[in-house]
Chain A
Amino acid sequence: MNAERRYPDVVSGPFEVPPVEFVDREDRAIEIRPYDGSEEEFEALVEMYAEFDPSDRAQGIPPGREPRIRTWLESILADDCLNVIAWDNGTAAGHSTLVPDGEDDYELAIFVLQPYQQAGIGTHLIESLLGHGASHGIQKVWLTVERWNHPAVSLYKKVGFETTGAESFELEMAIRIADD
């Protein structure tokens, strides 16, 4: 996207590597695992995004209707992307993804279904994804976030993201998870 993106000098982490199991603040047993490529997990994600509250969309994703959700998921669940899913038994409660940007770095996004928000799942989910990414040789990760989305911005800061671009509608943030 942007060859001039600045990344922090300091390496963040190490992060937990999935599978990760924990009990969330609502006493639900949650397990975070890498996406296994199965149709069953794909369909569980379709179901999660079909129930997603439009107010939690960010810059147009997740898309609103099921056909578009499927097209979008097909692109971000492709073999060159890394995905982790938070499970409450068979229900997908959250999903985080790293998509290659064509310049050796990766764009990150994270989504937690409304009933599972504010229970500590997002922190485990993003840390698991970064741990999963680092174990696959990824060094640099970036994202954009709407500047008014304070809960998301503080989550990103907590794990080590720094603001690298603030001149646009969205904030751009970046993290280094391994040395070049």
Chain B
Amino acid sequence: MKVLLGIGGTDGSAEALDRTVARALEAGDDLTIAIVEGKADEAEDLDARVESVRSETDLSVDVRRLEGEPGSKLVDIAETEGFDEIVLGGSTTSPMGKIKINQTAEFVLLNSHVTVTLVR
């Protein structure tokens, strides 16, 4: 399956990356990781994690950086390049522990014509 993972700037990004990579290794997914702009220090952390995925596994991963409005970019790439699924680590939690769907995730869920998985 051709999978587009969108990560960056949210609490669940690292876990979404780990789980999507684990699944891709098992199922032989063709994985593209789209890193959405976030805070600079978080972006560096994510870069390092993605790099370690590349060096520690046999998975061939295409990594891209998205600029501008991430939700519409993800939907556009998925639809024009024939992806089967968009995976998002797109939720943050409030101090109380309530899940908050961020604007990128909300846009993708409502507008994508390909299946969307929200990693929890």
Contacts and interface: CB of A to CB of B under 8 A. Distances in A.
Interface residues of A, number: 21
A98 to B, nearest CB: 9
B99 interface: yes
Contacts of B120: 60
Most buried by B among A60, A76, A144, A168: A60
Contacts of A168: 100-101, 103, 106
Interface string A150-180: 0000000000000000001110000000000
B95 A72 contact: no
B40 interface: no
B82 interface: no
Contacts of A63: 97
B27 interface: no
A32 interface: no
Contacts of A169: 101, 106
A101 interface: yes
Contact of A170 (B93, B96, B100, B103): B100
Given A75-B97, A144-B94, 16 more contacts: A1-B95, A59-B98, A60-B93, A60-B97, A60-B98, A61-B97, A76-B96, A76-B97, A97-B96, A99-B95, A99-B96, A144-B100, A168-B100, A168-B103, A168-B106, A169-B106
Interface of A: 1, 58-61, 63, 72, 75-76, 97, 99-102, 107-109, 144, 168-170
